[in-house]
Structure 1
Amino acid sequence: MSSENTTIRLCLLLAAAAAGCTKEAPSQPEGWDSAVALPPAVDLDSRAEVVEVDLTARVEEVEILPGKKTRAWTYNGGIPGPLIRARVGDRVIVNFRNELPAPTTIHWHGVRLLAEMDGAPGHSQPETEPGGVFTYDFVVPDAGLYWYHPHVDSAAQAGNGLYGALLVEDPAEPAALGDELVLVLSDIGLEEDGSLDPPDTGGNFGTLFGREGDVLLVNGRVNPVIGARIGLRQRWRLVNASRSRYYQLALADHRFLRIGGDGGLLEHPVETERLVLTPGERADVLIELRGAPGATLPVRWVPYDRGYGTAFERPEAEVFRLRLADEPAARDEPLPAVARSIAPLDTAAARRVDLQLTLQEGPGDVEMGINGVPSWKAEPIVAAVGETAVWTIENTMDFDHPFHLHGFFFQVLGEDGRPVRPLEWKDTVNVPVDGARRFVVRYDNRPGMWMFHCHILDHADAGMMGMLNVIP
């Protein structure tokens, strides 16, 4: 090529760059997330460090099954409720109004807030009666995906549709992790005409098994289709908002890179072929889609054996689908380092808390408990601000139990007494059949009464719940 041609080519390239005509970075297909986009909560406060939203619980007709109306219980008229976004350190104000035919509260699952904002009726706040209002006002100190749901008749109210997501973002987090989706996994029980199943469906066996709805939902939709570009990463922020169902997700020929969980980023990422989320748990995963252009890939619910026949003769089911764009594969930016420094909690001088998850035999309704005592007869565990404790949760039943502690993060311990690696902050941990789980927790300076319970909400309502009284 002559020097003249070289000069002309260089000038054209410089002119194109100056005019902003450089090649665009590859992106997901247009409208790729429209089928699952969550309605955002409207921020009423102009200050950058304050998020103020209105949230109303009310009965609303929604369409879940095609052409059929369901009178569901909703936040702001939708299932799930609106997505609340905040940044680490923000003040969050939620002006709550109850227009339901029953009293309720809101629990902010996983958020390290003050006890009086935790939504535990009779302990941290009074029930909000029909027609009543309550203002939740708290600071969000930790990045991660959290969620909100009722704590009055929890199984029935959450099963009727009351739940939503709260995403707390960290501006210091590595960029270019992937195109982000918040995915609220749940289920709902519906009759053929679209009406809600009765809250006591299945009777005592329903309580014992834990009621699972027969319709799987992703952000309130049935088997939605999400667009994807081959070779580009997506970041899925998932929460299992089901009252009882365990979600085990699988995508053929793919592996999930789990980078975070209940309390934000892990110490380091870990790959897994299947992703298991018990009720209440969250996961932050990256996935790079592969396959033939134009193909559709099903993300499947795979039965998880949580005991007593819960996986017996149950078929797999599609949860949602990924439709690959009919265009050549793209090349994503290199994945930045995703790591977090988490110091193991010192257990040398820790107090012991030993709990058994129990079922009381006898006539009448199913009665569960902790250490043989149902929640309505139990005395609180007493602890002090600044203490560290090692909890041992032993399961004496034929069902797994996802154990949730309000208000505090903990580190799960292995059989050797050391924290399970990679280190992460948890607020919910699965306790298997005939097994036990241990975790270590430090009570920071937030005194008050805090719930702990099985997050199979039918079990919690049947008595598998207790209180922790942290005193100054």
Structure 2
Amino acid sequence: MTRLNRRQFHQSLLASAAAASLPTFASAEATPILNARVSSARLAPAKYPETRIWGYDGLTPGPVLRARQGERMTLLFRNDLPQASSVHWHGIRIENAMDGVAGMTQSAVEPGADFLYDFALPDAGTYWYHPHNRTYEQMARGLYGALIVDEATGAPEVDLDEVLLLDDWRLTDEAQIAEGFGNMRDWSHGGRIGNWITVNGDGAWARDVPRHSRMRLRLINTANARIFSLDTKGLEGWVLALDGMPLEAPQPLGDLVLAPAQRADLIVDVIADEGEEAFLVSVESDGGYAIAAFPVGGAVRQERLAEPTALPPNPVPALGDLGTARHAELRMEGGAMGGMRGAMMGGQMTDMRDMAAQGKVWAFNGMADMGDTPLIDASRGETVRITMTNDTAWPHGMHLHGHHFRQIAADGTLGPMRDTVLMTRGETVEIAFVADNPGDWLLHCHMLEHSAGGMMTWLRVS
């Protein structure tokens, strides 16, 4: 760590837009409405105009939706955007019809129309929601929010439970969201990377805390394509959950990498002295920069609390025999410097030049976009293995809908349950899961320009 300078990270822009909260759904007398609409937010200092954004309830991030494990969530999505949209409940193992994938699990909700979402919440944890129609544009305009499912029992003892949504924005000199969402350079390279980082819509996010206070920090990477490498200063603690799923035992907090869509639940103690600041730090190529600050005043207790215990496990079925599991292979191809000459599109072989003219520059197993045949057709309850190879020059964050999986290491050990895995250039990763949720489910790269550019396939659980 070479420096911590919050003002120099982005020299011309500051932001201030905070997430709000809705009441617990089980106690609501009327069906809550989640309204996607054009709005504005103060993403720059007062000398700049407000930024036009798209937000749920006109906010970016949208309201924090919160309920308790085992409850149902029921809300009416109303679309007042100039584009059709939908809501995907990222990481929640819900009924297929509620997954929110336009063109697959439901029709896109046209401007002026609405759609009723109603589903059970089987798992406690940190999740989020975002559109699944023109996702690369709608999320870049600010359309996303947190979905928190509190533990029915066994929640950890903390002084503060804070949700932190990490994002980057591509802003113009007038503090407006830059257009060019179909920029083929973004699509064929690392995706749309912004020039301005926020936490909860705020480029100088801060929260006053006392020394020795204990916080649960729920980190969510909502960026289109940016991979966040995170560190802390003046905080010490543990990772308790990844992608909503509790670890079997708390792991000491060190460097933390979050690909787009990934989440981490941390328990951290404030160890900075009174009058100092603790920080959440984004580690960049030229040093570390504070993206969230915790000014320390007073002390809540004389000594730190004891080390936390593991969170209660969620009811995810255990893997069956991996030796007899149904198996599929997935090869990622294309992109800049990838060497792919063409792929199947619309039932015919198409060369790279014609693919690019149609906005497609990536492929899975030689096919751009989804074909008529699923990658795997599994019976309900069957254990499935997928070997994925990144034969491209770029990293990819692979996200499976409707399920959580474990990564199988080369020595056969199993990693933690996740719904998104980051794969670096040339890497091969094997995942395994129990196909216990019936329906047709997406498997795609969550670098949103990569997905739109052809990196998506699907599974069927029947």
Which of the numbers 427, 445, 458 marks the counterpart of 1:467?
A: 458
Alignment correspondent of 1:410: 405
Specify the alignment match of 1:16 in structure 2.
Answer: none
For structure 1, the residue ranges without an aligned partner over 5 or more in a row are: 1-34, 304-310
Taking structure 1 as reference, are residues 150 and 36 closer, same or farther at Cα in structure 2, changes over 3 Å only?
closer
TM superposition shift of 1:457: 0.6
Q: C-alpha separation between the residues in 1 aligned to 2:261 and 2:409?
A: 21
Residue of structure 2 in register with 1:183 after alignment: 164
Q: 1:355 aligns with which of 301, 309, 330?
A: 330
Counterpart-to-counterpart distance in 1, 2:234 and 2:303:
19
Structure 1 letter corresponding to 2:141: N
- Cα 1:112–1:393, aligned 2, differ >3 Å: closer, same or farther? same
Give the letter for the 1:62 counterpart. Answer: A
Report the count of equivalent residues.
422
**What residue in structure 2 maps to residue 427 of structure 1?**
419
Q: Which residue type is aligned with residue 134 of structure 1?
A: F
- Candidates 255, 265, 269, aligned match of 2:250: 269
* Mapped pair 1:90 → 2:71: yes
Structure 2 partner of 1:401: 396
Cα-to-partner distance string for 1:123-144 (whole Å, 9 max, x where unaligned)? 1000000111000110010000
Match of 1:22 in 2: none
Deviation at 1:225, TM superposition (A): 1.3
Pick from 429, 433, 436 the counterpart of residue 437 of structure 1: 429
Cα 1:51–1:351 shift into 2, 3 Å:
farther
TM-score, normalised by the number of residues in structure 1? 0.84
Asked if 2 retains the 8 angstrom alpha-carbon contact of 1:378 and 1:466, the reply is: no
Aligned counterpart, 1:210? 191
The two structures, once aligned, show a CA RMSD in angstroms of 2.2
Query: Could you tell me whether the CA contact under 8 Å between 1:395 and 1:434 is conserved in 2?
Result: yes
Q: Which residue in 1 is equivalent to 2:7?
A: none
Identity %: 31
SS in structure 1 of the partner of residue 32 of structure 2 = strand
1:317 partnered with 2:289? yes
Distance 1:189 1:262 in 2: 26
Q: Which amino acid aligns with 1:469?
A: R
Measure, in 2, the Cα distance between the counterparts of 1:428 and 1:51.
34
Partner of 1:371: 365
Given that 1:177 and 1:335 are in contact with CA atoms closer than 8 Å, whether structure 2 keeps it comes out as no
Structure 1 position 451, deviation (Å): 0.6
* Aligned 1:134-173 pairs, distance under 5 A: 134-173=115-154
The offset of 1:46, in angstroms, is: 3.4
What does residue range 298-337 of structure 1 map to in structure 2 within 5 Å? 298-303=279-284, 311=285, 316-326=288-298, 330-337=302-309
Mean Cα displacement is larger for which, 198-207 or 406-415?
A: 198-207
SS of aligned partner of 1:325: strand
- Alignment gaps of 5+ in structure 2: 1-15, 335-339, 342-351
Tell which structure's C-alpha radius of gyration is larger.
Answer: 1
Distance in 2 separating the partners of 1:149 and 1:367? 24
> Are residues 1:40 and 2:14 paired?
no
Measured in 1, the distance between the counterparts of 2:253 and 2:214 equals: 16
Please state how far the C-alpha of 1:110 moved relative to its aligned partner: 0.5
Matches of 1:199 and 1:213 in 2, distance apart? 12
User: In the alignment, residue 440 of structure 1 is paired with which amino acid?
Assistant: A
Return the letter of the residue paired with 1:56.
N
User: How far is the alpha carbon of 1:298 from its aligned partner?
Assistant: 3.4
Equivalent pair of 1:208/1:366 in contact (CA under 8 Å): no
Where is the strand percentage greater, Structure 1 or Structure 2?
2
Distance of 1:201 and 1:230 partners within structure 2 = 47
Q: Name the TM-score, length of structure 2 as normaliser.
A: 0.86
Q: Distance in 2 between matches of 1:404 and 1:167?
A: 19
